[in-house]
Amino acid sequence: MRVLLPLGLDLAYDYRPPPETNLRPGDFVEVPLGTRRRIGVVWDDDADAPPADPEKLRTVHGRVNLPPLPASTRRFIEWVSRYTMAPLGSVLRMAIATPSLFQPSRPVITYALSGVAPERISPARQRVMDLLRDGPPRTAADIAEAAAVSDGVVRGLAEQGVLEAIENDPDAGYMEPPPDPDTPGPVLSAEQRAAAATLVGRIGGGFAAMLLEGVTGSGKTEVYFEAIAEALRRDPGGQVLVLVPEIALTNQLLDRFETRFGARPMAWHSDLTGRARRAAWMGAASGAARVVVGARSALFLPFKALSLIVVDEEHDPAYKQEEQVIYHARDMAVVRASLMKCPIALVSATPSLETMVNCWTGKYERVHLPTRHGGATMPLIEAVDMRREDTARGRWISPRLEADLHANLEAGEQSLLFLNRRGYAPAAICRACGNRVMRENCSAPLVVHRFGNRLQCHHCDFTMPMPKVCPKCGAEGTIIAYGPGVERLAEEVEARFPEARVAIMASDTVRTAREAQAFVERIEKHQLDIVIGTQLVTKGHHFPMLTLVGIVDADLGLSGGDLRAGERTYQQLWQVAGRAGRAERPGRVLVQTYMPEHPVMQALIGGDGPAFYRNEAAEREQAGWPPYGRLVALILSGVDEAGVAAHARALSSRAPRGAEFTVLGPAPAPYARLRGRFRHRFLIRARRGVDLQGLIRGWLAQVPEKSSVRVAVDIDPYSFL
């Protein structure tokens, strides 16, 4: 029988089945591998595989007590492996990437009243008794919190036998009550009702892909909640998966969901404890978790039966995983839905061009919500032409923006300054020789952090103090922080608005879902006047008191120059703009730019999304870029520079040729050295319909692999660094 191991291997290995066990595909088993025992999954037979020599087979040790990996998940793993060209075993590893899966959790102990009266009653004890008399059994921690008593009180009552301990099966795991689809939701507007009806109409009808597009605040979430309700109602065993790009967003959505459906959905993200992961995995497998809200890896959970997938903020670049198995979760979600024969809704105010084009060609159905809910108007967006503003050197807030910030502060309203640059400054530069301080052996830029005191790499955990002497020319005291980051902007804001309450929201100040929630609460409770944020603030939050958004450097994203620079800038700035003026209060957005005539800026200022998409599509189509053409990147890396270069040359000499595609490179990557590894890139550009995977497989097969050089294949690349 074939057993697939969660290792970087493309093959399932043959084993002899153990006597007297009836193992079937999907079952978890323990097998010998070399001198070790490993856990793998019994894989389906492959008629094409050469028969194994029965004499040489080793025997499966036995079954591991876990629910089997469903056939639909196995087919999905195969599909992802074929498409991304990642080894099958690496994709399997993502599906079971929770080491705790194989360590049965200890039982969960809950307490109920035993009927024995306490020796002595105190107010604290009374509260515990009252709590348990009226409610279900609870854990000790839960009792202590709900009855506002110390752990000692609970322990004392348990020792006296007043509380009876109940052992619960940890893998029944998921103990939340199921969401109730029939709790009444808000009354939808006519426009929302029409959109919801389209989504609802597709539930139960097999695979269908839809784009739910609508400006921020138009009620997209409320609309897809209706579709979730219908999915839950229609199929009592069906499950729903909602993907979100950022774990910071999960909590907010969990809360909204709970308000709407009376129960929390299951969460899945990297912050979960081992026990919670195991419970979540089990809940997905058993079907007990009816709704899962999760980050991209939730796609690989072993769902029993999906009846709807929602991909919120479908345009978000965070859906692309850039390491190990390189895949785009939005695209793979569409595949998952088609394999599961269920509908999928892609949701965004600023859809990706890929999705837009799929709507234009009729592959996806477009459902549109053009107006904000409850009569809120879209903010007024104005360009601030920085060529005409007299902004002092070393400052980033123009007189125009400053005046508006003052006025907003005086009116007691909140403002947001957007600058998509973490840290204090993007570079440290020597004033004497112009040298940019870099780390030896690395071409990723070092970023100035902690208000000018340290240099930090954003690609690894390297940090160093800001040097006092230029490492290149030896001049002393000449190293300066160059350009603005959010910390430096905060410094400027604090100097100019000493009375304002200011805070920074960036991935290094807000690291976990909990911290994000706390931060969002500070904004909602109006404990802050000016929020300074990176792209983290662009995502899905509602701030009713926020009426002014200042985009500090709107041109920043355009300078990167990759094929999606314009699209990303448009999406990001439009999303930030959408944070302003949600309720009764109208919002204003000031866009600081040196190129107000640029088509992206024009589309933003004119609020003309369709113009932007038309323009962008025409340019891409003419140049044959995605989604009108296809791209694949090959990234070669290794610690030995000559070895990497030689392998690149060897591949280059065998590069395939054809009229339908071009192989560009090899060339040193823009980050020619990263984390100590030298990097070379190829880029393959092809017409649509070319079997790029086959082409690349054939190409790579002609050049013997070298253990010292890693070759990563990036199908549909989003990063070109």
Q: What residues line the site for ligand ADP (CB under 6 A)?
A: 186-189, 192, 214, 216-222, 373, 542
Q: In the bound complex, what is the minimum distance in angstroms from residue 260's beta carbon to ligand ADP?
A: 9
Q: In the bound complex, what is the minimum distance in angstroms from residue 191's beta carbon to ligand ADP?
A: 10
Nearer to ligand ADP (CB atom), residue 17 or residue 544 = 544
Q: In the bound complex, what is the minimum distance in angstroms from residue 312's beta carbon to ligand ADP?
A: 8
Q: In the bound complex, what is the minimum distance in angstroms from residue 220's beta carbon to ligand ADP?
A: 3
Q: In the bound complex, what is the minimum distance in angstroms from residue 378's beta carbon to ligand ADP?
A: 12
3-state secondary structure 178-223: CCCCCCCCCCCCHHHHHHHHHHHHHCCCCCEEEEEEECCCCCHHHH
Q: In the bound complex, what is the minimum distance in angstroms from residue 259's beta carbon to ligand ADP?
A: 9
Distance separating alpha carbons of residues 17 and 29, to the nearest angstrom: 10
Q: From 574, 639, 562, 566, select the one nearest 607 (Cα to Cα).
A: 574
Q: Which residues of 669-678 are buried (b: 16+ CB within 10 A; e: fewer)?
A: bebbbbbebb
Q: In the bound complex, what is the minimum distance in angstroms from residue 202's beta carbon to ligand ADP?
A: 19
Cis before 666 (ω within 30): yes
3-state secondary structure of 164: strand
Distance separating alpha carbons of residues 282 and 68, to the nearest angstrom: 10
Answer positive or negative: Cα dihedral of 200, 202, 207, 208: negative
Nearer to ligand ADP (CB atom), residue 47 or residue 187 = 187
Nearer to ligand ADP (CB atom), residue 212 or residue 457 = 212
Cβ burial, residue 143 (10 Å; 0-12/13-18/19+): buried
Nearer to ligand ADP (CB atom), residue 373 or residue 677 = 373
Q: In the bound complex, what is the minimum distance in angstroms from residue 582's beta carbon to ligand ADP?
A: 7
Nearer to ligand ADP (CB atom), residue 52 or residue 318 = 318
Q: In the bound complex, what is the minimum distance in angstroms from residue 413's beta carbon to ligand ADP?
A: 18
Q: Please provide the distance, in angstroms rounded to a whole number, between the alpha carbons at the two ends of the chain.
A: 43
Nearer to ligand ADP (CB atom), residue 253 or residue 650 = 253
3-state secondary structure 249-308: HHHHHHHHHHHHHCCCCEEECCCCCHHHHHHHHHHHHHCCCCEEEECHHHHHCCCCCEEE
Q: In the bound complex, what is the minimum distance in angstroms from residue 613's beta carbon to ligand ADP?
A: 18
Strand partners of residue 384: 592
Nearer to ligand ADP (CB atom), residue 243 or residue 470 = 243
Distance separating alpha carbons of residues 450 and 354, to the nearest angstrom: 39
Strand partners of residue 239: 306
Nearer to ligand ADP (CB atom), residue 373 or residue 588 = 373
Place of tokens 């959010």: 486
Q: From 87, 50, 19, 73, select the one nearest 303 (Cα to Cα).
A: 73
Q: From 254, 196, 245, select the one nearest 225 (Cα to Cα).
A: 196
Backbone Cα Rg of the chain: 28
Distance separating alpha carbons of residues 548 and 408, to the nearest angstrom: 7
The first and second tokens of residue 48, run together, are: 């094409």
Nearer to ligand ADP (CB atom), residue 75 or residue 366 = 366
Q: In the bound complex, what is the minimum distance in angstroms from residue 42's beta carbon to ligand ADP?
A: 43
Q: In the bound complex, what is the minimum distance in angstroms from residue 297's beta carbon to ligand ADP?
A: 23
Nearer to ligand ADP (CB atom), residue 171 or residue 226 = 226
Strands (E), 327-453: 327-328, 343-348, 365-369, 380-385, 414-418, 427-430, 446-449
Is the CB of residue 539 less than 8 Å from the CB of residue 246?
yes
Place of tokens 């994709």: 91
Q: In the bound complex, what is the minimum distance in angstroms from residue 534's beta carbon to ligand ADP?
A: 20
Nearer to ligand ADP (CB atom), residue 214 or residue 294 = 214
Question: How many alpha carbons lie under 13 Å from residue 267 in its C-beta half-sphere?
Answer: 22
Alpha-carbon distances of 252 from 246, 261, 264, 418, 691, rounded to whole Å: 11, 14, 11, 21, 41
Q: In the bound complex, what is the minimum distance in angstroms from residue 218's beta carbon to ligand ADP?
A: 4
What residues contact residue 99 under an 8 Å CB cut-off, 6+ apart? 274
The angle subtended at Cα 575 by Cα 408 and Cα 558, nearest 5°, is 105
Q: In the bound complex, what is the minimum distance in angstroms from residue 547's beta carbon to ligand ADP?
A: 16
Q: In the bound complex, what is the minimum distance in angstroms from residue 578's beta carbon to ligand ADP?
A: 7
Please report which helix (H) or strand (E) contains residue 518, including its range.
helix 513-524
Nearer to ligand ADP (CB atom), residue 188 or residue 556 = 188
Cβ burial, residue 344 (10 Å; 0-12/13-18/19+): buried
Nearer to ligand ADP (CB atom), residue 221 or residue 350 = 221
Nearer to ligand ADP (CB atom), residue 108 or residue 253 = 253
Q: In the bound complex, what is the minimum distance in angstroms from residue 540's beta carbon to ligand ADP?
A: 7
Nearer to ligand ADP (CB atom), residue 373 or residue 681 = 373
Q: From 466, 336, 327, 489, select the one nearest 417 (Cα to Cα).
A: 489
DSSP 3-state helix, strand, coil percentages of the chain (rounded to 5)? 35, 25, 40
Please report which helix (H) or strand (E) contains residue 665, including its range.
strand 661-674
What residues contact residue 273 under an 8 Å CB cut-off, 6+ apart? none
Answer positive or negative: Cα dihedral of 137, 142, 146, 149: positive
What residues contact residue 302 under an 8 Å CB cut-off, 6+ apart? 67, 69, 70, 73, 95, 281, 284, 285
Nearer to ligand ADP (CB atom), residue 188 or residue 325 = 188
Nearer to ligand ADP (CB atom), residue 185 or residue 668 = 185
